[in-house]
């Protein structure tokens, strides 16, 4: 095996075990990591006797382009997607495992950047990368499994919304979709929306806050507000009735949409990848800080806006 | 969305959420599954306050071919690879999460078979598929993350081997490599070796048995006996000294090798994918039933056979 070497090299030049050694050296740890990378498996603390787990895929050409996002961006986003699912249960992410498939000609600077992004997104959360797997492939694929801690609380599922509950969200809606639209037209700005696509900022801590505030159901907006609320409505056997007045389009999105000659409302209602949290709370609840009321839970099915049922238009694979 | 329908259809005909519904309907559960598939994340019991976790990739063309292995085989193997890592820590697998990337033109009969294989491999272990993710891709990729329970015991790591310890293994060595060689020459038999490649039978329960018997270090043979013992030797800063007399080549492998005009010893020493367990035990230990002594731990580095250091020849990606 050739030595672990300089930045001009590619993954193939150091090989599987060289890459693993390089990745492991870049990672850090936390108190919850009882045994970190390098063994057959990791061991992570699960203080309340339960572990929350979710897995999520980020594929080159499908979910990102290496010319549109930096390696760090891809790392941040891959960790964010899986950790957002943990937050959406009302839990705190503790650890992630990463399966990386990559062509041998990908530069080590790229995989270094990916690992930096993964590590730093986890670090900001108090979590750590505890293990993974590396294999050769024709295109880059990053599959992240996130583990989390419910801190003694029951999980906030999709199924608990009750008629009369208030619907509220926290985070951004439509920004990542606007950024993707901009990139798709060949532009690289405005930075705010392009950045939202490249590196989402899920409001992770709001998941536990919502749980503590009595949220009856919760999910993260990965596919689009209507699509994801549709899953919540289905699981809870209710209708989510949104009020469009409570869902104003941010000025920035209106400007960008005008330049692209599209309707910014589509981004807000159907854009994914911002990882806002949306939840239902018992009527009369005091919403946690920063949460915005957008509707109520009614008898019925699906998602309605101003009384009219809306079909999901979030991204659907295989279509 | 088109209805979930008959066996003539492909993944694209039911779409992402149709496929997820179909997969979820085929799964079963266990007492450890506190919240199963269908929500943002799963919740799994971690009775001793810790969770063991490992992730592993099985890629079409790299790790399997759809014309060499059935969908069920691929499911069994994908679950086996990750769960074997859990056993190698001395733990019991409790749950797996599955990330599936697949072209839309893969028949639903194939994904059904994959899920059956995953479910049945887990079921035999007392584990369950608790979650996953589905996306479109150009080739099939199955990434399994396995979770496990140490039942109050310390993990058996790679790093605990001490000079004077006995080296022993349990399971099969070289059978899967022989099967792969047979398939590579265009044959489909003998069934025993081809079957070993298609559907490994890791001796999962022997992991906890070894831990209870005082194993000081352990790993599973996924890359090859010499390669994987090399990792153990490195982590423990010792030499693993094998005695070739204690590693006889099974007659079946000798016969197959003769037909292919190759050396069957290479399969035994360097063949991966059988997921035997290999461990070190304090000198004088009573080995657990079925474990076979194959050498001792000495001062030094790497793996030696009859006193001669041997380089790993297990599969190395990117080469």
* pLDDT tens by residue, B47-60: 999 999 999 999 99
Pick among B10, B37, B39, B220 to test the A interface (most A CBs inside 10 A): B39
Please answer whether residues A264 and A257 qualify as being in contact, where contact means their C-beta atoms are separated by less than 8 angstroms: yes
Q: Do A145 and B35 touch (CB under 8 A)?
A: no
Distance CA A215, CA A168 (A): 10
Q: Do A41 and B146 touch (CB under 8 A)?
A: yes
CATH 3.30.1330.10 domain extents, chain A: 11-149
Please answer whether residues A46 and B51 qualify as being in contact, where contact means their C-beta atoms are separated by less than 8 angstroms: yes
Q: Do A47 and B49 touch (CB under 8 A)?
A: yes
Residues from chain B that touch A128, judged by Cβ atoms under 8 A, are none
The DSSP line for B42-98 is EEEE-TTSEEEEEEEEEEBTTTB-TTTS-HHHHHHHHHHHHHHHHHTTT-EEEEEEE
Instruction: With a cut of 60, say whether residue A1 has pLDDT above it.
Output: no
Query: Which chain B residue shows the shortest CA-CA distance from A47?
Result: B49
Give B268→chain A minimum CA distance, Å. Answer: 21
Residues from chain B that touch A317, judged by Cβ atoms under 8 A, are 15-16, 104, 134-136
By Cβ distance, the residue of A49, A56, A99 closest to B55 is A99
Pick among B4, B64, B318 to test the A interface (most A CBs inside 10 A): B318
Distance CA A117, CA B81 (A): 28
**What percent of chain B is modeled with pLDDT above 70?**
96
Instruction: With a cut of 60, say whether residue B3 has pLDDT above it.
Output: no
Residues B185-193 have a mean pLDDT of: 94
Instruction: With a cut of 50, say whether residue A2 has pLDDT above it.
Output: no
Q: Which residue has the higher pLDDT, A312 or B195?
A: B195
pLDDT of residue B17: 84
Q: Do B46 and A41 touch (CB under 8 A)?
A: no
Residues from chain A that touch B53, judged by Cβ atoms under 8 A, are 41-44, 53, 95, 97, 130-131, 145, 147
Task: Quickly state the pLDDT bin for A17 (edges 50, 70, 90).
Answer: confident
Task: Quickly state the pLDDT bin for A173 (edges 50, 70, 90).
Answer: very high
Query: Which chain B residue shows the shortest CA-CA distance from A316?
Result: B16
pLDDT of residue B314: 59
Residues from chain B that touch A228, judged by Cβ atoms under 8 A, are none
Instruction: With a cut of 80, say whether residue B224 has pLDDT above it.
Output: yes
Q: What is the CATH number of domain A166-310?
A: 3.90.650.10
Query: Domain A11-149 belongs to what topology?
Result: 60s Ribosomal Protein L30; Chain: A; (3.30.1330)
pLDDT of residue A314: 59
Instruction: With a cut of 80, say whether residue B167 has pLDDT above it.
Output: yes
pLDDT mean across residues, chain B: 94
Strand locations in chain A (E): 33-35, 42-45, 50-59, 92-102, 128-136, 141-149, 166-170, 217-220, 239-242, 277-281, 292-298, 302-305, 308-310
**What percent of chain B is modeled with pLDDT above 90?**
91
Give B258→chain A minimum CA distance, Å. Answer: 32
Distance CA A38, CA B82 (A): 15
Whether residue A190 has a cis bond before it, omega within 30° of 0: yes
The DSSP line for B176-222 is HHHHHHHHHTT----HHHHHHHHS----TTHHHHHHHTT-SEEEE-S
Residues from chain A that touch B155, judged by Cβ atoms under 8 A, are 34-35, 39, 41, 43
Strand partners, B43: A52, B35
Q: Do B132 and A55 touch (CB under 8 A)?
A: yes
Task: Quickly state the pLDDT bin for A313 (edges 50, 70, 90).
Answer: confident
Instruction: With a cut of 50, say whether residue A291 has pLDDT above it.
Output: yes
Query: Which chain B residue shows the shortest CA-CA distance from A236?
Result: B39
With 0-12 CB in 10 A as exposed, 13-18 as middle and 19+ as buried, what is B261?
exposed
pLDDT in tens, B87-99: 999 999 999 999 9
Query: Which chain A residue shows the shortest CA-CA distance from B151?
Result: A49
pLDDT in tens, A95-126: 999 999 999 999 999 999 999 999 999 999 99
Q: Is A49 helix (H, G, I), strand (E, B) or coil?
A: coil
pLDDT of residue A316: 62
Q: Which residue has the higher pLDDT, B312 or A170?
A: A170
Read off the DSSP letter of residue A223.
Answer: S
Query: Which chain A residue shows the shortest CA-CA distance from B15?
Result: A318
pLDDT in tens, B111-163: 999 999 999 999 999 999 999 999 999 999 999 999 999 999 999 999 999 99
Q: Do A50 and B38 touch (CB under 8 A)?
A: no
pLDDT of residue B18: 87
Residues from chain A that touch B138, judged by Cβ atoms under 8 A, are 138-139
By Cβ distance, the residue of A15, A47, A52 closest to B41 is A52
Task: Quickly state the pLDDT bin for A3 (edges 50, 70, 90).
Answer: very low
Residues from chain B that touch A38, judged by Cβ atoms under 8 A, are 158, 235
Q: Is A114 helix (H, G, I), strand (E, B) or coil?
A: helix
Distance CA A125, CA B64 (A): 37
Residues B269-290 have a mean pLDDT of: 96
By Cβ distance, the residue of B15, B134, B220 closest to A319 is B15
Please answer whether residues B97 and B144 qualify as being in contact, where contact means their C-beta atoms are separated by less than 8 angstroms: yes
CATH 3.90.650.10 domain extents, chain B: 166-310
Read off the DSSP letter of residue B8.
Answer: T
Pick among A15, A62, A318 to test the B interface (most B CBs inside 10 A): A318
Give A218→chain B minimum CA distance, Å. Answer: 9
Please answer whether residues A231 and A158 qualify as being in contact, where contact means their C-beta atoms are separated by less than 8 angstroms: yes
Instruction: With a cut of 50, say whether residue B281 has pLDDT above it.
Output: yes
By Cβ distance, the residue of B12, B41, B88 closest to A40 is B88
């Amino acid at each position: 095996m050739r030595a672990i070497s300089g930045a001009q090299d590619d993954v193939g030049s150091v090989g599987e075990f060289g890459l693993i050694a390089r990745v492991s050296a870049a990672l850090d740890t936390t108190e919850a990591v009882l045994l970190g990378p390098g063994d057959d498996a990791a061991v992570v603390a699960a203080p309340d006797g339960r572990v929350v787990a979710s897995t999520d895929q980020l594929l080159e050409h499908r979910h990102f382009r290496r010319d549109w996002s930096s390696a760090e961006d891809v790392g941040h986003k891959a960790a964010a997607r899986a950790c957002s699912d943990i937050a959406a249960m009302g839990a705190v992410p503790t650890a992630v495992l990463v399966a990386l498939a990559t062509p041998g000609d990908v530069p080590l600077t790229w995989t270094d950047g990916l690992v930096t992004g993964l590590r730093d997104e986890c670090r900001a959360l108090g979590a750590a990368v505890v293990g993974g797997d590396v294999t050769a492939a024709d295109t880059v694929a990053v599959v992240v499994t996130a583990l989390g801690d419910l801190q003694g609380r029951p999980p906030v599922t999709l199924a608990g919304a009750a008629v009369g509950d208030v619907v509220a969200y926290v985070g951004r809606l439509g920004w990542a979709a606007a950024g993707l639209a901009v990139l798709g037209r060949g532009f690289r700005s405005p930075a705010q929306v392009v950045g939202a696509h490249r590196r989402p900022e899920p409001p992770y801590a709001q998941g536990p806050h919502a749980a503590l505030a009595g949220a009856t159901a919760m999910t993260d907006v990965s596919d689009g507000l209507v699509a994801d609320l549709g899953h919540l409505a289905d699981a809870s056997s209710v209708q989510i009735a949104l009020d469009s007045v409570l869902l104003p389009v941010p000025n920035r999105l209106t400007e960008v949409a005008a330049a692209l000659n599209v309707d910014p409302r589509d981004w807000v209602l159907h854009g994914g990848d911002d990882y806002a949290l949306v939840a239902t709370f018992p009527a009369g609840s005091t919403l946690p800080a920063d949460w915005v009321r957008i509707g109520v839970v009614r008898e019925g099915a699906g998602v309605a806006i101003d009384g009219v049922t809306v079909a999901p238009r979030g991204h659907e694979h295989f279509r």
